[in-house]
Amino acid sequence: SVFTLDQLQWCTVSDKELSKCSDMSKAFSKARILPLLTCVRGVSASDCMSMINARVADVAAVDGGTIYQAGKEYNLKPVVGEAYGQDVGTSYYAVAVVRANSNLTINSLGGGKTCHTGINRTVGWNVPVGFLLDSGRMAVMGCEIARAVGNYFSASCVPGASGDGYPASLCELCKGGVDGRGKCEPSSKEEYYDYMGAFRCLVEGAGEVAFVKHSTVAEATGGQAPPFWVQQLQADDFQLLCRDGNKAAVTEWRTCHLARVPAHAVVAREDTDGSLVFQLLSQGQQRFNAEGSDFQMFSSSAYDGKNLLFKDSTTELVPIMEQTYQAWLGEEYLHAMRGLDCDPTRLPPFLRWCVLSTEEIWKCSAMAKAFKGKNLKPEIQCVSAESPEQCMKGIQKRDIDVVSLAGEDIYMAGETYGLAPAAGEHYADKDTASTYYAVAVVRRAVADAFTIYELKGKKSCHTGYGRMAGWNLPVGFLLRKGLMQPQGCSVLKAASAFFSASCAPSAKIEDYPANLCELCVGDGKGNGKCSASSQELYYGYTGAFRCLAESRGDVAFVKHTTVFENTEGNNIDSWASHLRSGDFQLLCPNGARAEVSQFANCHWGQVPPRAIMVHPDTNPLAVYGLLDKAQDFFGDDNNRNGFKMFNSTDFQGQDLIFKDSTVAIVPAAESRTSSSWLGQQILESLEGLRSSQCSGAAAASMNFFLLLIQALVLLDATLHDP
Ligand SMILES: *[C@@H]1O[C@H](CO)[C@@H](O)[C@H](O)[C@H]1NC(C)=O
Ligand SMILES: *[C@@H]1O[C@H](CO)[C@@H](O)[C@H](O)[C@H]1NC(C)=O
Ligand SMILES: *[C@@H]1O[C@H](CO)[C@@H](O)[C@H](O)[C@H]1NC(C)=O
């Protein structure tokens, strides 16, 4: 513990603060409060954090932004918090205020006119900008945050955002003083500066939304002598924008805000005993917080300063129980800080993109050239690999930066290699090929009335072994729920023992259980039985459904559109032309049955879009920011900029780098882990599949990879199947 040293070194950032600190040190020592408090001088709050880390200082009281950086970079922890009395205790709230008749919501702020307390200030800038960035509403390229804000809003007043590197629109709505001077200065010369100024900017109609704190509207409209510019307005002439897109009265700030802003806190190294720091300060505040005592801990007036060591509004210091920076900052504020956490000097100069085929290399090279031509940052470099898994390994070792992956690869990338989604593909709303529901189709007939609990011993039709809707999701789910019993280390054996007979077409696999091919028919002339190709009539979605429709099987594992594509005359082949969708039903995983149209509530998992995955230390917002800017130029298939992001025709391929059906790249937003990207249901099924492959043994995990690779080969074969 630090108290094996006999002193606690407080880090200060100005001469005034140093002078207050040395008075505090003298006062404490005179009062025999131990350990001895000493003072050191740092240059800035962040400098103090690195001094504490380097053990040349021990503690300092800092704001939320600094607590975030210190926690992330040096693992420093908050140990004592400031409390400000009233009913908000140790925090306040950052809110977005609009006129009560405004149409704006948090989701339509893009293109709006905004009023901010000042550049880099907590509620006026850091929280709203961080929130918009982190949630993916606003994109930033190359960590140029001010430019991103300038592009996102049509005009703003952000006092202090003038000069180099700041777009002119950030000062456009500012007013200056009565004499017209001081426009956009971060001082009272600018009438729209600070909380009251930002609110005035809204009241006077310059902006449509003001980023202020929870008490600002009440303070302006409710006082004895409201400022003249408030005119006759009342608090209920205004509303708050909530994070979820709703609005609420200005009194509802506890539930409708952008973030709870944590109080300042004293931070210390991981190995410092926080309770001893509190004991020291607790004794101090008992002696030196009263009116008239010779030293005043929470006042800075004797030093001609403000908020020295502690904020002047502090009423008491409180111990922090859960000493992690995440717990102190809270989820909302933490995410806003994460959104702002983009340091251009830490961006890689190149983003190394993993590609898997010659055609992909061609497209990737064209993409790199096209992006560079538009000065997009970071630049792209193309790195080729043999398999998706090699890409994942390369990213884990940081030899590669980015790869785009589908379904079970996303699972492996997250579980085995710790990668995270940075962005994802988005397909047209009516596009049911790119993301779809996996369903289990059965015949409606009373004689066939069974549920998943009676599935054992039934005859099954699968699109193919190792495929998502046809195999992985149903078999994984049945294993996971304990309905299907694991057999040794083999999922194949488990499935073979569960179903009495099946058709699960596959590539040649040694010891492939015979009954998994029993229902297959090949090409009807004795060739290609059970092969994972169009030779097998029961292969693929349509084939598996045909296997059911021709009463070979009792259940078909397909996707939600398959029934509709092959009934009501939509498929004129003789086996399908007479089929009615009403003759079929779905088996739900919860044991119920549902109509085929109710797939959204009766499915075995929704296959997610492909994800663009990165190392967890790669800034996902920078990757999304690049692609978002890029799609402005190259996203539209009719663009005239010489490259099409979502079309592979020019490179003699399909779905190269991105799926051709992609209409936009979207941010990962809330889905920052592979598990949340896949969703609970898919995750559980894939876990079910994996956990029955004899975990622990190296050979077994190898087996798992082989299985996945086979699945890939199959998928690949499907894609190239005419
Ligand atoms: C709000 O929306 C309505 C209908 O879309 C529109 O007519 C009205 O002008 C909008 N009001 C404002 C203040 O933008
Ligand atoms: C605001 O913060 C950014 C990022 O830390 C910094 O680069 C910039 O200089 C700051 N602006 C002002 C006016 O302090
Ligand atoms: C892709 O681009 C080619 C021309 O380069 C065009 O003929 C084709 O229609 C495009 N594909 C799609 C799906 O838009």
Beta strands in 518-619 (DSSP E): 555-559, 584-587, 593-595, 611-614
Nearest-CA residue for atom 4 of ligand 1: 103
**Which numbered atom of ligand 3 lies nearest the CA of 661?**
13
CA distances from 592 to 487, 586, 588 (A): 27, 9, 5
Q: Where are the domains of the chain?
A: 7-83+263-330, 91-261, 350-428+609-678, 438-601, 695-722
Q: What pLDDT shows up at residue 669?
A: 84
Nearest-CA residue for atom 8 of ligand 1: 103
Cβ(345) to ligand 1 under 6 A?
no
Nearest-CA residue for atom 2 of ligand 1: 103
* C-alpha to C-alpha distance for 548 and 459, rounded to whole angstroms: 9
59 close to 266: Cβ distance less than 8 angstroms? yes
**Which numbered atom of ligand 3 lies nearest the CA of 647?**
1
Q: What pLDDT shows up at residue 720?
A: 43
Cβ(103) to ligand 1 under 6 A?
yes
Nearest-CA residue for atom 10 of ligand 1: 103
Q: How far is the CA of 713 from the centre of ligand 3 (A)?
A: 26
Ligand 3, residues 647, 651, 660: which to mutate, most atoms within 8 A of Cβ?
647
* C-alpha to C-alpha distance for 683 and 686, rounded to whole angstroms: 5
Where does 438-601 sit in CATH, by number? 3.40.190.10
C-alpha R_g of the chain? 31
687 close to 476: Cβ distance less than 8 angstroms? yes
Q: How far is the CA of 172 from the centre of ligand 2 (A)?
A: 19
Q: How far is the CA of 193 from the centre of ligand 1 (A)?
A: 29
**Ligand index nearest the alpha carbon of residue 111:** 1
* C-alpha to C-alpha distance for 396 and 393, rounded to whole angstroms: 5
Nearest-CA residue for atom 7 of ligand 1: 103
Fold match between 91-261 and 438-601? yes
Ligand 3, residues 362, 649, 663: which to mutate, most atoms within 8 A of Cβ?
649
Cβ(119) to ligand 2 under 6 A?
yes
Ligand 1, residues 98, 103, 113, 154: which to mutate, most atoms within 8 A of Cβ?
103
Residue that the structure tokens 């420093």 belong to: 76
Q: What pLDDT shows up at residue 53?
A: 97
Q: How far is the CA of 43 from the centre of ligand 1 (A)?
A: 51
**Which numbered atom of ligand 1 lies nearest the CA of 103?**
1
Q: Which CATH class is domain 7-83+263-330?
A: alpha beta
Q: Which helix (H) or strand (E) holds 155?
A: strand 155-157
Q: How far is the CA of 647 from the centre of ligand 3 (A)?
A: 6
Q: What pLDDT shows up at residue 698?
A: 37
**Which numbered atom of ligand 1 lies nearest the CA of 99?**
13
* C-alpha to C-alpha distance for 582 and 13, rounded to whole angstroms: 75
**Which amino acid makes up residue 720?**
H
Cβ(232) to ligand 1 under 6 A?
no
* C-alpha to C-alpha distance for 123 and 132, rounded to whole angstroms: 13
Q: How far is the CA of 116 from the centre of ligand 2 (A)?
A: 15
Contacts 24+ apart (CB under 8 A), 715-719: 715/406, 715/467, 717/507, 717/532, 717/533, 718/464, 718/467, 718/532, 718/540, 719/654, 719/655
Q: Which CATH class is domain 91-261?
A: alpha beta
Q: How far is the CA of 103 from the centre of ligand 1 (A)?
A: 6
Q: How far is the CA of 208 from the centre of ligand 1 (A)?
A: 13
**Ligand index nearest the alpha carbon of residue 638:** 3
**Which numbered atom of ligand 1 lies nearest the CA of 102?**
13
pLDDT averaged over 10-residue windows placed end to end, the chain, 722 residues: 70 97 96 93 96 96 94 96 75 93 96 97 96 96 96 98 95 93 95 96 97 93 85 92 97 96 94 93 92 89 94 92 94 95 88 95 96 96 94 96 93 95 90 84 89 95 94 94 88 95 92 95 91 94 96 96 95 95 96 95 93 94 96 94 94 92 92 92 91 52 42 43 36
* C-alpha to C-alpha distance for 640 and 636, rounded to whole angstroms: 9
350-428+609-678 is a CATH 3.40.190.10 domain: yes
Helix spans in 440-573 (H): 473-480, 491-498, 540-549, 562-565
**Ligand index nearest the alpha carbon of residue 661:** 3
Give this prediction's pTM.
Answer: 0.82
Q: What pLDDT shows up at residue 287?
A: 92
* C-alpha to C-alpha distance for 591 and 586, rounded to whole angstroms: 10
Q: How far is the CA of 192 from the centre of ligand 1 (A)?
A: 26
**The pair of three-digit structure tokens given for residue 146, joined into one six-digit string:** 């001010």
Cβ(160) to ligand 2 under 6 A?
yes
CA distances from 557 to 219, 584, 691 (A): 62, 13, 21
Q: How far is the CA of 660 from the centre of ligand 3 (A)?
A: 9
Nearest-CA residue for atom 14 of ligand 3: 637
